Structure 1
Amino acid sequence: MTTNRAALLALGAVALALTAGCAPPPLPAGPAAASSLTWSTCPEDVVTAAAPSVLDCTTVPVPVDHGDPASGGIDIMISRLAAPDPQQRRGVLLLNPGGPGGSGLTQSALLVAQGLPASVTDSYDLIGIDTRGIDHSAPVSCGFTVAGPYFANVPPYAPDDAAVVERAEVAEAAAQQCAQNDRDGLLPHLTTADMARDMDLVRAALGEETTNFLGYSYGSALGAAYASMFPERSDRIVLDSIIGDTHLDRDGMRRYALGMEQAFPAFADWAAHRHDTYGLGRTADEVRAAFLDTAARLDEQPEQGVDGAAFRATTFAFLYNELQYPLLAQLWQGLRTGVPVPPPPGPAPDFAALENSLTVFLAVTCNDVDWPEDVQTYRDAVAQDRERFPLYGAAAANILPCAFWPWEPAEPPVAIDGDGPTDVLLVQNLNDPATPHRGAELLRERFGDRARLVSVDDSGHGAYVLGGNACASDVTTRYLVDGEMPADDVSCPAS
């Protein structure tokens, strides 16, 4: 791998890290319920990453196979940011940062650092989780390397049909590599349904009768699965940046292309207003045209070790947050002028952790639903989406190792359960690159009267706390703290 490819991967890693019914009545205030857990100091890496927040950690035993608990078990590590006054806490708020494959142990500290209201931290013990297979919870690895042909959740942009056929060979080899490295037999048991069952065991171990939940991105799928599998134990559920179901399938992957089309104009407008600084175009249309021209040029002739696929993928990643626009513009400017790619700020990415996350992403995505196995299906989809969504369609529709996954799904995907109290609050930016608003609309339709949708007129991935929209923050905080669910869907103006 070239130095510049490593820089792009590092930059992408940094970008993604920045990344009228009545609700159930409040639980009585008071000390935590009886728990079977013993808390202690978290692992050193968690302590360092969470600072200045101070977390406690413990583990919860869960079966590898929930259908056969006697066949073996693993330990799930959880963290706790305790409410300062036990007499005021109303329960626990379980967190998930997304992925699948994101480590959640320090998510409470991240949210506090980003401005999570004190009324939320006063009301709950915030519980972070490394779900099964991740980091401190029986980590798995397919053995991918950053220099190898497979090291990305989203496939590379396929400029032509031959590129899809070529990628199919890489995807098949990656699936075989995962099977060869599954020495403990855990990979086929990494599913959203099993993670939801693990969450319910965490709830029980904490001594709680019900679960409150805040999940982002893939966390929306996990939360939707939990609320559907355990409606009687679901209290206040908040899902942000919504995939659209309880699993990520081909339709969900292909919506990445729709998301980039909807999110890119915000960056294009930002860059056009700074043409004198970056030289990317004086209008948003000119910036878009320059993006397509640059990507096509790099497809034909990579520069500084960067090809069109890497350029598109990095741009997609940097659309997650407006704070990343300046670094994206510098990167793009460097490719156009021949200036080397700037090094990413902060510590170097942990590529071992990224590989672990990639492995979990693949396992959960491929295990949750049966994927088409015919390469022609993907060739047709790429050709269609290259025309429909020129910015990223030929990447999002490209073939994944799921087409060659050696294990069949053990059970159908979790079905959305619309029966139950109105306890699911959906929060969604209108212009989200990874989870476009359409996903929230789909989940709203499937939950029916159990849900309300808060649509936020902003760009980026993450609305509550991470997005900084006052309206979205107020509505969501009122629900988490006071149980006040909006009588109807809500539209929040831009911040």
Structure 2
Amino acid sequence: MKRERGIGRSSALAVVLGLSGSLLAAPAVADGPRAPQVRWGTCPDDVVTEAAPTELQCATVPVPVDYADPGSARIDLMISRLASTAPDKRRGTLMLNPGGPGGSGLALPALLVAQGVPADVLDSYDLIGMDTRGIGHSAPVSCGLAPDGPYFANIPPYAADDAAVTAQAKIAEQVAQQCADHDSDGMLSHLTTANTARDLDRIRAALGEEKTSYLGYSYGTALGAAYASMFPERSDRIVLDSNIGDTHLDRDGMRRYALGMEQAFPDFAKWAAARHDSYGLGRTPAQVRRTYFTLAEQLDKAPVAGIDGNLLRLSTFGQLFKKLQYPKLAQQWQTLADGDGTAARRLLSQKATAAEAPAALDNSLSVFLAVTCNDIEWPRNVGTYRNGVAEDRERYPLFGAATANITPCAFWQHAPAEPPVAVNDDGPRNVLLVQNLRDPSTPHAGGKMLRQKFADRSRLLSIDDGGHGAYVLGDNPCALNTTTRFLVEGRMPAKDMLCPAG
């Protein structure tokens, strides 16, 4: 039973998972372009497999563990490259980040090729993927988290009442202590968005580039916003897709996941209602919504094959990320309503991949915790989270009592070493913010927040669509063409614009 529950939990996590002059420590970076210092070679076997049939090259770049201490130890960051094959059209490098924090990005250039990234982009740039510090092939960290343990996802479990928050606080405290106990080399405290942005600049210099362009999704928008703010004159064309709203994820940002689910869920409800004869989830969107609450409450009382209401809520949230997942989500609800545990678990489980291996899940969650908890101080009082859960259970009933619940950051052993990166609005107009109107985890509000902070440096491209990820990962022609024109030709929209539904 424990093994099966771990499989379901791993699948739920898999679908969920994806600073300027005021800093205390000055960034140690190269002064400008130099001769390339990177030796490209064959990628590790797991990257080759994930990237196939696209062939990538890989290399390592050394960076200091602690930028405040020039003499500190070094770690090697692994990067990948899909090189432009059009020298007369090549503009430079386009660094990529898939989000997280905790997501491996080495195979991301190949993923974008598989999704149909325009040929003009491939001609204009060397696509540079990477495992950022602490991830995968770049000095990976571990808190020793097991898939069948009490902490198995970056979003806390739905808290039905105050007692559930108190119970989760004990788990959160144990996890924070476990991370501290496993941190034998002191690496965890150096996993921050600011340090990762400094790493990007080291990679830029090692590649011999005067500037770099950047495409980041989800948390990758925070990293990109930090880089554009810390190194405005070294940033070329910056695309931030599915924005969390700042250079870090804080408690308010986590709670916005619940807002996103409320805004994204009606798309699924409308879809399911139109297929009532196939799935029987409700003839109207309102009935589909009631089915969700009824089914979750039934599973709270009587789980089916180890699937409880909390896992249903988490899985539903994660599968709103892509419309292609709607049929699978509807089948999950259908089998759970029928009490068919075998079929429901088969749908929740996914074919084993490297990303779902226990070690990879531990690594991903450990990096998520370290970066999220190190970037900014989180409230320490359990009562603060109880109040937040009570508020969000009412205003965001679909998922608010989960995203407002207490996390290990409330008990983290390390205080932030420096303030969060402040968004720098004094720089070139080179930041394009791309944002679906109905994104389940990074709602449209995040794009508007960064637009206000970047001011005239940025433009906001909104898309009348749902799901997480718009450029290349979505299917809106206006979003694809507008963003591609910016990357290839530098044509920034004259003003904020809205792409109609495709």
TM tier, smaller: over 0.9
> 32-41 vs 461-470, which deviates more?
32-41
Give the distance between the partners of 2:221 and 2:372, measured in 1 at CA.
14
Give the distance between the partners of 1:477 and 1:394, measured in 2 at CA.
39
Q: Does 1:397 align with 2:398?
A: no
2:9–2:148 Cα contact (<8 Å) kept:
no
2:470–2:479 Cα contact (<8 Å) kept:
yes
User: Which residue of structure 1 lines up, in the alignment, with residue 36 of structure 2?
Assistant: 35
Give the distance between the partners of 1:168 and 1:3, measured in 2 at CA.
25
Give the distance between the partners of 2:382 and 2:363, measured in 1 at CA.
27
Report the residue type matching 1:435 in the other structure: T
User: Which residue of structure 2 lines up, in the alignment, with residue 28 of structure 1?
Assistant: none
- 420, 423, 427: which is aligned to 1:416? 423
How far off is 1:84 after superposition? 1.0
Report the residue type matching 1:404 in the other structure: F
Give the distance between the partners of 2:411 and 2:186, measured in 1 at CA.
18
User: Which residue of structure 1 lines up, in the alignment, with residue 494 of structure 2?
Assistant: 487
Report the residue type matching 1:8 in the other structure: G
Question: Structure 2: which 5+ runs fail to align?
Answer: 19-32
User: Which residue of structure 2 lines up, in the alignment, with residue 240 of structure 1?
Assistant: 241
User: Which residue of structure 2 lines up, in the alignment, with residue 190 of structure 1?
Assistant: 191
Give the distance between the partners of 2:351 and 2:34, measured in 1 at CA.
41
Report the residue type matching 2:352 in the other structure: P
Q: Can you list the C-alpha shifts for 1:25-75, whole angstroms capped at 9, x where unaligned?
A: xxxxxxx97301110000010011001111000000000000102121100
Give the distance between the partners of 1:3 and 1:128, measured in 2 at CA.
33
2:105–2:129 Cα contact (<8 Å) kept:
yes
How far off is 1:276 after superposition? 1.1
Give the distance between the partners of 1:324 and 1:2, measured in 2 at CA.
26
User: Which residue of structure 2 lines up, in the alignment, with residue 220 of structure 1?
Assistant: 221
User: Which residue of structure 1 lines up, in the alignment, with residue 87 of structure 2?
Assistant: 86
2:81–2:128 Cα contact (<8 Å) kept:
yes
How far off is 1:423 after superposition? 0.3
SS for the counterpart of 2:484 is helix
- 378, 388, 391: which is aligned to 1:381? 388
SS for the counterpart of 2:100 is coil
User: Which residue of structure 2 lines up, in the alignment, with residue 309 of structure 1?
Assistant: 310
How far off is 1:439 after superposition? 0.5
CA, structure 1 residues 338+7, in 2 after alignment: closer, same or farther (shift >3 Å)? farther
SS for the counterpart of 2:418 is coil
Give the distance between the partners of 1:236 and 1:460, measured in 2 at CA.
24
User: Which residue of structure 1 lines up, in the alignment, with residue 375 of structure 2?
Assistant: 368
Please give the root-mean-square deviation of Cα atoms over the aligned residues, in Å.
Answer: 1.3
Q: How does 1:237-386 map to 2 (within 5 A)?
A: 237-339=238-340, 340=342, 341=344, 342-343=346-347, 344-348=349-353, 349-386=356-393
User: Which residue of structure 1 lines up, in the alignment, with residue 432 of structure 2?
Assistant: 425
Give the distance between the partners of 1:33 and 1:327, measured in 2 at CA.
50
How far off is 1:15 after superposition? 3.0
Give the distance between the partners of 1:395 and 1:148, measured in 2 at CA.
18
How far off is 1:303 after superposition? 2.1
SS for the counterpart of 2:394 is helix
1:159–1:299 Cα contact (<8 Å) kept:
no
Q: How does 1:145-184 map to 2 (within 5 A)?
A: 145-184=146-185
Q: Can you list the C-alpha shifts for 1:66-122, whole angstroms capped at 9, x where unaligned?
A: 010212110000000000122321100000000000000000100110010000000
1:101–1:357 Cα contact (<8 Å) kept:
yes
SS for the counterpart of 2:177 is helix
TM-score, normalization: structure 2? 0.94
Report the residue type matching 2:5 in the other structure: R
2:91–2:125 Cα contact (<8 Å) kept:
yes
Question: Structure 1: which 5+ runs fail to align?
Answer: 20-31
Give the distance between the partners of 1:481 and 1:13, measured in 2 at CA.
35
Give the distance between the partners of 1:299 and 1:184, measured in 2 at CA.
41
Give the distance between the partners of 1:69 and 1:494, measured in 2 at CA.
51
SS for the counterpart of 1:69 is coil
Q: Does 1:107 align with 2:114?
A: no
1:4–1:306 Cα contact (<8 Å) kept:
no
Q: How does 1:63-142 map to 2 (within 5 A)?
A: 63-142=64-143
User: Which residue of structure 2 lines up, in the alignment, with residue 25 of structure 1?
Assistant: none
SS for the counterpart of 1:454 is strand
1:217–1:435 Cα contact (<8 Å) kept:
yes
Give the distance between the partners of 2:7 and 2:210, measured in 1 at CA.
47
SS for the counterpart of 2:93 is strand
1:132–1:195 Cα contact (<8 Å) kept:
yes
How far off is 1:10 after superposition? 4.1
User: Which residue of structure 1 lines up, in the alignment, with residue 11 of structure 2?
Assistant: 11
How far off is 1:300 after superposition? 2.2
Report the residue type matching 1:5 in the other structure: R
How far off is 1:4 after superposition? 4.8
Give the distance between the partners of 1:152 and 1:93, measured in 2 at CA.
30
